[in-house]
Chains A and B, each alone.
Chain A
Amino acid sequence: MTQSSTTHTNKSSAAKTYGTAETVQAPVYSRAERKARNATRRSRLGMVIYLVLLLLPIYWLINMSFKTNTEILSGLSFFPEHFTLDNYAKIFGDPTWYMGYINSTLYVVMNMVISLLVALPAAYAFSRYRFVGDKHMFFWLLSNRMAPPAVFLLPFFQLYSSVGLFDTHIAVALAHCLFNVPLAVWILEGFMSGVPREIDETAYIDGYTFPKFFVRIFIPLIRSGIGVTAFFCFMFSWVELLLARTLTSVEAKPIAAIMTRTVSASGMDWGLLAAAGVLTIIPGMLVIYFVRNHVAKGFALGRV
């Protein structure tokens, strides 16, 4: 649309609104602004539709977890008719079930701590110094984040058996470091590069030693980056199954692997499966609630 025709329609519509007495505000808005408001309304609507589609499968799972198996198999309904907590009671009453959640949480937390501890100094080195082979080292780390766990699956079992770590939480935590440490270095490097070098130099001139400066000054500066990194470590360790399942048998078996028990000779125990699934979603929601204010920046891995 050309410039002149825009102003023309603008005028005519403005004249029309002046005609009606009770509209006081309407003339203030230009055509462009009204267009913008319509666009906002449209995007609100689009967003709501997207969210509904996104949450529908999850809602279906939650809905099912409150039903008995007979009700699940007898027909579809949006609300449980015979509301029951039996499925959850079964999980919380049986150690072989709830230990799965404890095992998963344990190795995820271990992995988070290890990843952050080793990644912090390394990320600092990558963001501040040039050294022999730095770029290739960075690439090598990244390629490990990208490599499929299935490739390393074969010898993992033997490797961790040979060092006597098979079926321990630390084994899974270490194995998950394979992809979480590179990711942590990558995100933290992004955040650290955003901190001006002058801060480091001033601190050294003021007589801070490196460890003291790092802990007292630098870490508080990139707090949000650390939070976001922890979130990502949690996320990728929590959702991974292939390695966790391979490296455990009884003692450290993750919940995701225990869930396969719902398939039995008498068929699937759908209600129990749904309840177990719902319980795996809750920790993630808690974690994302805590980092919600930083997550927008963190999702760009600190480098927008």
Chain B
Amino acid sequence: MQTKVENNKAWFLVLPVFIIVAFSAIIPLMTVVNYSVQDIFDQNTSYFVGAEWFKQVMLDSRLHDALIRQFLFSFTILLIEIPLGIGVALMMPTKGKSASLCLILVAIPLLIPWNVVGTIWQIFGREDIGLFGAFMGAIGVDYNYASDPVDAWSTVVLMDVWHWTPLVALLCYSGLRAIPEVYYQAARIDQASRWAVFRYIQLPKLTNVLIIGVLLRFMDSFMIYTEPFVLTGGGPGSSTTFLSQALVQQAIGQFDLGPAAAFSLVYFLIILLVCWVFYTTIMNMQKDK
């Protein structure tokens, strides 16, 4: 790392970013805080209720379930996507036309609007018109994501793996590209096994990108909304209702501004905590280098 110059005038360069993000972040956040301590009937009628909504939110068993489901979901997809992504990155060709072609093809799912991702799997998983649903039926599995909670869950997980493994794969791929050829030559001279090459040469180089990958995947899966909304609508029952969905249901569906705001804040605090832990870890790792 190069040493940086102390210069407080640099603030002027950051100011535009600060203003533009603050407009969309701080004002709404303040408003959410205001809402969270009031019972709001309409624009002009509201009562101060103190911490009552927070109590309600903290003790609401539906939200506990959504939170547990959310963590379960995030850990499940991380457990699948990270190893799978590393595997795909190791398999990707490194040179020539086939390398760029692979890159483009692998990246396609990332650029599909999230509701279209939901639509694709909604169609793909149906037994009457979808290939996957028909395939499951043909091999004798009683599969219906719209009525069976287990099927709904596995379809949402499968969809997320399909959608986001490419991100992990491309991150790892770019990490692998940064390893100098000399390392591999040395390994060849030592007759190192494939596993040894992976364990002692490739994996250490991947740590950095993997942390970014885990951070992005954890955070983005923690706010997943559109895809399950289109695919299952949070059902059957509430088996695939994750945090964002529960929040939107409360805020838009029932128009409970106060409790929804309190819920938002609790949600935000959890995000802030996780984000801080990751950030500190990344920063300390960079310092150690």
Contacts and interface: CB of A to CB of B under 8 A. Distances in A.
| Binding between chains A and B | yes
Interface of A: 3, 6, 32, 35, 39, 43-44, 46-47, 50-51, 53-58, 60-61, 64, 72-73, 76, 114, 117-119, 121-122, 124-126, 128-132, 134-135, 137, 139, 141-156, 158-159, 174-175, 177-178, 181-182, 185, 193, 196-197, 235, 238-242, 255-256, 259, 270, 273-274, 277, 280-281, 283-285, 287-289, 292-293, 295-301, 303-304
B121 A57 contact: yes
B267 A151 contact: yes
Given A60-B131, A139-B276, A146-B275, A43 B32 contact: no
A131 B11 contact: yes
A157 to B, nearest CB: 10
B221 to A, nearest CB: 11
Nearest to B11: A131
B111 interface: yes
A235 B171 contact: no
Interface string B204-248: 010011001001000100110110000000000000000110011
A293 B257 contact: no
- In terms of DSSP, what is the predominant structure of the interface of chain B? helix
Closest A-B pairs by Cβ, 7 of them: A284-B111, A148-B223, A155-B31, A129-B10, A125-B13, A43-B91, A125-B10
B104 A285 contact: yes
Contacts of A32: 188, 191
A235 B10 contact: no
A296 B177 contact: yes
A46 B91 contact: yes
A150 B21 contact: no
Nearest to B102: A47
B7 A295 contact: no
B49 interface: no
A190 B141 CA distance: 48
Given A39-B194, A178-B25, A304-B209, 12 more contacts: A35-B194, A44-B93, A51-B105, A57-B124, A57-B131, A130-B7, A148-B268, A154-B32, A154-B251, A174-B24, A273-B119, A296-B103
B109 interface: yes
Contacts of A273: 119, 123
Contacts of B128: 73
B20 A137 contact: no
B123 A150 contact: no
A47 B88 contact: yes
A126 B89 CA distance: 31
Interface residues of B, number: 102
B149 interface: no
Contact of B29 (A152, A153, A158, A196): A152
A155 B263 CA distance: 14
Contacts of A3: 191
Given A118-B17, A174-B24, A295 B103 contact: yes
Contacts of B72: none
A256 B115 contact: yes
A290 B193 CA distance: 38
Contacts of A137: 14, 18
A176 to B, nearest CB: 9
7 contacts: A56-B131, A57-B120, A60-B124, A131-B6, A144-B21, A148-B267, A280-B113
B123 A64 contact: yes
Given A47-B92, A154-B35, A289-B104, A300 B129 contact: no
A296 B173 CA distance: 7
A131 B115 contact: no
B93 to A, nearest CB: 7
A159 B28 contact: yes
B108 interface: yes
B130 interface: yes
Interface string B169-185: 01101110110000000
A196 B2 CA distance: 8
A182 B20 CA distance: 10
B254 interface: no
Contact of B225 (A130, A155, A242, A256): A242
A73 B28 contact: no
A240 B244 CA distance: 14
Contacts of B93: 44, 47
A143 B275 contact: yes
Contacts of A238: 111, 113
Contacts of A240: 113-114
Contacts of A73: 128-129
Interface string B118-138: 011101100011111010000
